[in-house]
A and B are shown apart, each in its own frame.
Chain A
Amino acid sequence: MKFDTPSAENPTDRLRVVGQPVDRIDGPLKTTGRAPYAYEHHDGFTGGFADGLARPAYGHVLGAGIARGRIRSFDAEAARRAPGVLAVISADNAGPLGQGPRNTAKLLGGPRIEHYHQAIALVVAESFEQARAAARLIRVEYAREAGEFDLAKVRDSGRAPQDEPDRRLGDFAAAFAASAVRIDAVYRTPDQSHAMMEPHASMAAWDGDRLTLWTSNQMIAWGRADLAKTLGIRPEQIRLLSPYIGGGFGGKLFVRADAVLAALGARAIGRPVKVMLARPLVFNNTTHRPATIQRIRIGATADGHIHAIAHESWCGNLPGGSAETATQQTQLLYAGAHRLSALRLATLDLPEGNAMRAPGEAPGLMALEIAIDELAEKLGLDPVELRIRNDTPVDPHDPQRRFSQRQLVECLRTGAARFGWAQRNPVPGRTRAGRWLLGHGVAAAFRNNLVMKSGARVRLGRDARVTVETDMTDIGTGSYTVIAQTAAEMLGVPLAQVDVRLGDSDFPVSAGSGGQWGGNCSTAGVYAACMRLREQIAQRLGFRDAAAVRFADGEVQAGGRVAPLADAVRDSELLAEDSIEFAGLDRKYQQSTFGAHFVEVGVDAATGETRVRRMLAVCAAGRILNPKTARSQVIGAMTMGVGAALSEALHVDPRLGCFVNHDLAGYEVPVHADIPHQEVIFLDGADPVSSPMKAKGVGELGLCGVAAAIANAVYNATGVRVRDYPLTLDKLLGQMPAPG
């Protein structure tokens, strides 16, 4: 199905199932421990493990002990002789390996080492304990080479990425110089880790030259293609399965070492092998969100209209790696006639930087939304009002191009009223509750709505049960549930009559889980397949005009005639497959999602410890397919934003070139005690331009702006403006008002 004109009224508009806050259909499996994740497919439990396969052996990954250089000698003899060891795989014996286009560094290093903890060996043994112990017997001598690990040091060597050239409008320099009120500040965001709860894990089994890989991956088709390229086989030789994923956040968008090494290990021993990355390996071996240094300059008129705005950002990555696109939202969020945005990418020899939830926007808004707060203060204007005053209905760089929907102002106004923003004291450091300095902060949320082709197959079985199959994944986002809701709505059956099967490369290729496009696009693909199936059903039941047929309550109706849906499959089942293909509307209209975050913090007047006391998000993201699961996406993102604001940072050891705090004790994600009750409001508003589902993404929007709202609240509480995330107490102490 081509989607090239805004969607008219369609069967999903009934909202009998779609748009309802139904419980997750995978909830009973997950809460009882019966949902099988990548490392857990075995006999007799879920029936997940293929017939006739031997018990899997265990692989343990050894990571490089240097950041850059060469392996001078690699001695695995003792490991090979160790009890239970079946094989040691390394670059010496793995044979030639290709590299998928989505990987920057090789997934099996050696002799060249490109980053710290790059995998250099897999020890395969009968037991996990044996594999782990034997890996310690491998002796590696390295020839270490100097590398660059300090972004501040290399930033000036950065170049504009080819696909992200500088964007200019008007004459920024002159307009900025002539502005009545100016701010010019530099902000820093640190390297961050996805830190999903399930480490990367895979189990591989070969049958001749065909590979079955159970893994934990957000993008089945990408994974299959890149794994095939790496192993030097055809994608058709691989079946990739990823039905349950213990969190991803972008960290599982790409095939990683666990998948490649499990496949190599299984091939070497002629038996299935499973590999889970040890937690301390995850942080340096896999990808992370790269650090940024950002300079923002804004010039405004005395009455608060932005006249000139410039956002420049510096970041680093391995050679061939991509840039953290932290300036993108600034091109679209606020009005202003004179504009400049520029990215600079330098070479760093740290582990590979790549997408983490809301790549670009998350760190970009961490900076921009503090800058707006600073401008508001300088203008003596309320920060909500300043944002409203600078709203733009069009793409500032291309005024012919309108937003399909733009509800930033409504988000801000709704949030301000609900939060009690009017009661905030705009003078910093003046609100006190016992030992706590109280502060209130606001920030805008903004994230584009991306659309990707997505396919699905829908079967109406002889028992009238509906089965949906697509290679879409559910990484906690609620895909199982919103897909079931879509099929139930389209075919007029109860939700319980729908089975959803996901994450299998044997199924039609979907949009996958990334860039907050998954929910809208994958359900639109299911919509397309259901439209096909409706035609077949109508034809079977003798209805002439399929378009006029209504599907409801297990019946098919048109022209006064009613037929039970089950009659269509009395003799044989029906199967339909289609995909949604987006053609043009995303270029004609700017499609974006909007929000506003309001936060109250308390900062301990003596210790500088910050506690978040209240959080409210107002989101506008088209039709909300399931308010319960969508709300969970947003509160989860708000929680990640608390981490980004207050505690999360990968700390670089500049001698060793690694992230030194590479476990969950050193990399501090928020815990229960850090998070207050969170409130989320979704604004109504189906967007017919986005897809037939009229939905947009929400999972990344929820993160955008959160950290800045907290930083602004901390400023309001203390009068200390911190522009260097995270806002740990050492950055506040010393500048705080004397405790009294």
Chain B
Amino acid sequence: MDDCLHLKITRRRLLIASAVSASAAALPSLSGAASRDAPQTAAAPVQQRVRLRINGEVHSLELDTRTTLLDALREHLQLTGTKKGCDHGQCGACTVLLDGRRINACLTLAVMHEGAELTTIEGLGTPGRLHPMQAAFVKHDAFQCGYCTPGQICSALGMLDELRAGQPSHVSADLEAAPTLSADEIRERMSGNLCRCGAYSNLVEAITEAAGSRA
């Protein structure tokens, strides 16, 4: 339970906050004139240097401060295994592990993470040498189009660490007891990662098997 107290903000809370702000921003204006209130000039972008340790390798990047962690990975480092599904925290396709915790890479700016340690899907395994979680996904056909898959895999690994650390979820019967690795716990904790192909039933089986092999 100790780890839980150190959490600054939960993933669920982050998702809720982002959904509200995104919906508000997306509402059209009734006047029929777009961007009436937009600034009329644009200043030159502010650049800032940031060092990130990604999959064990240190990268030093000079970035537009508006660059999300997701676009830093995809567009500046060509680490396109991390996917852009919504770019505002609603789908989970961009989930990576930041200092061991799962995070939506689209919801944070790269320059906020000086010195951070990141694990992306590319750091877990290769096609010839799959990580046990990746192998379980292939075996159980826990994906179809493959676009949410890297995010599901990173999220599953982060989720299992949260579970092992004793963090309760909405479906945990007892907030004091150690949560169990049940299908319901997996479903609840993975619900920030959408899969429109609908591989959920297989995803639970893959994650359960991979969790068992690591235990």
Contacts and interface: CB of A to CB of B under 8 A. Distances in A.
Given A45-B78, A136-B38, A632-B144, A129 B200 contact: no
Interface in B43-86: 43-45, 64, 66-67, 71, 74-75, 78-86
Nearest to A136: B38
19 contacts: A30-B146, A33-B79, A40-B80, A81-B41, A84-B45, A127-B67, A129-B45, A138-B35, A140-B33, A197-B85, A197-B91, A197-B195, A248-B145, A635-B199, A636-B197, A636-B198, A636-B199, A671-B191, A677-B183
Nearest to B121: A33
Nearest to B39: A137
Contacts of A337: none
Interface of A: 23-24, 26-37, 39-40, 42-45, 62, 65-66, 78, 81-84, 116, 127-130, 133-134, 136-142, 144, 194-199, 244-249, 276, 278-280, 475-478, 628-629, 631-633, 635-640, 655-656, 658, 660-666, 669-678
A140 B36 CA distance: 8
B17 to A, nearest CB: 11
Nearest to A195: B196
Given A139-B36, A476-B146, A665-B22, A42 B195 contact: no
B28 A116 contact: yes
B203 A32 contact: no
Given A32-B81, A197-B93, A635 B198 contact: yes
A247 B40 contact: no
B134 interface: yes
B38 A198 contact: no
Given A32-B121, A675-B201, 20 more contacts: A23-B139, A31-B125, A32-B122, A33-B150, A35-B146, A127-B75, A130-B64, A139-B38, A194-B196, A196-B196, A197-B83, A197-B91, A279-B91, A475-B145, A637-B198, A656-B30, A664-B91, A672-B188, A672-B193, A675-B187
A40 to B, nearest CB: 4
Nearest to A665: B19
A72 to B, nearest CB: 9
A31 B134 contact: yes
Interface in B140-159: 141, 143-150, 153
Contacts of A278: 87
Contacts of A24: 138, 141
A116 B32 CA distance: 11
Nearest to B79: A33
A65 B34 contact: yes
B202 interface: yes
B146 to A, nearest CB: 3
B141 A23 contact: yes
Contacts of A665: 18-19, 22-23, 90
B212 interface: no
Given A31-B149, A116-B28, A137-B35, A249 B86 contact: no
Contact of B22 (A26, A142, A276, A280): A280
Nearest to A43: B78
Top-10 shortest CB links A-B: A33-B81, A639-B198, A246-B147, A476-B144, A30-B146, A476-B145, A636-B198, A665-B19, A33-B121, A28-B127
Nearest to A641: B198
Interface string B156-183: 0000000000000001000000000001
A477 B144 contact: yes
A45 B80 contact: yes
Contact of A142 (B19, B32, B121, B191): B32
Interface in B113-146: 120-122, 124-128, 130, 134, 137-139, 141, 143-146
Contact of A128 (B75, B85, B139, B200): B75
A737 B55 CA distance: 57
A34 B201 contact: no
Contacts of B87: 278-279
Contact of B145 (A31, A246, A674): A246
B132 to A, nearest CB: 11
B104 to A, nearest CB: 12
Contacts of B137: 27, 31
B213 interface: no
Contact of B33 (A133, A139, A249, A639): A139
B204 to A, nearest CB: 7
Nearest to B15: A665
A141 B33 contact: yes
A666 B23 CA distance: 8
B13 to A, nearest CB: 14
Contacts of A664: 85-86, 90-91, 194
B74 A40 contact: yes
Given A136-B38, A247-B145, A276-B84, A142 B33 contact: yes
B186 interface: yes
A124 to B, nearest CB: 15
A129 B85 contact: no
Scoring A134, A279, A475, A665 by chain B CB atoms within 10 A of each residue's CB, the highest score goes to: A665
B138 A669 contact: no
A65 B32 contact: yes
B40 A672 contact: no
A12 B140 CA distance: 25
Scoring A26, A34, A42, A673 by chain B CB atoms within 10 A of each residue's CB, the highest score goes to: A673
Contacts of A674: 200
Contacts of B82: 33
A279 B86 contact: yes
Nearest to B75: A128
B129 to A, nearest CB: 9
A83 B45 CA distance: 7
Given A137-B42, A476-B197, A37 B183 contact: no
B202 to A, nearest CB: 7
Contacts of A628: 141
B28 A672 contact: no
Nearest to B31: A65
Contacts of B74: 40
Contacts of A249: 196
Nearest to B26: A280
A137 B134 contact: no
Contact of A144 (B32, B127, B130, B201): B32
A34 to B, nearest CB: 6
Contact of B64 (A127, A476, A666): A127
Contacts of B200: 635, 639, 670-672, 674-675
Contact of A640 (B43, B91, B198): B198
A323 B72 CA distance: 44
B10 interface: no
A279 B88 contact: yes
A29 B127 contact: yes
Contacts of A661: 23
A278 B90 CA distance: 13
B198 A662 contact: no
B71 A128 contact: yes
A30 B35 contact: no
Nearest to A198: B147
A28 B130 CA distance: 7
Contacts of A29: 127, 146
A42 B191 contact: no
Given A23-B138, A476-B144, A671-B194, A663 B35 contact: no
Contact of B85 (A43, A198, A678): A198
B145 A65 contact: no
Contact of A31 (B143, B187, B191, B201): B143
A84 B43 CA distance: 11
Nearest to A42: B78
Contacts of B39: 137
Contacts of A670: 198, 200
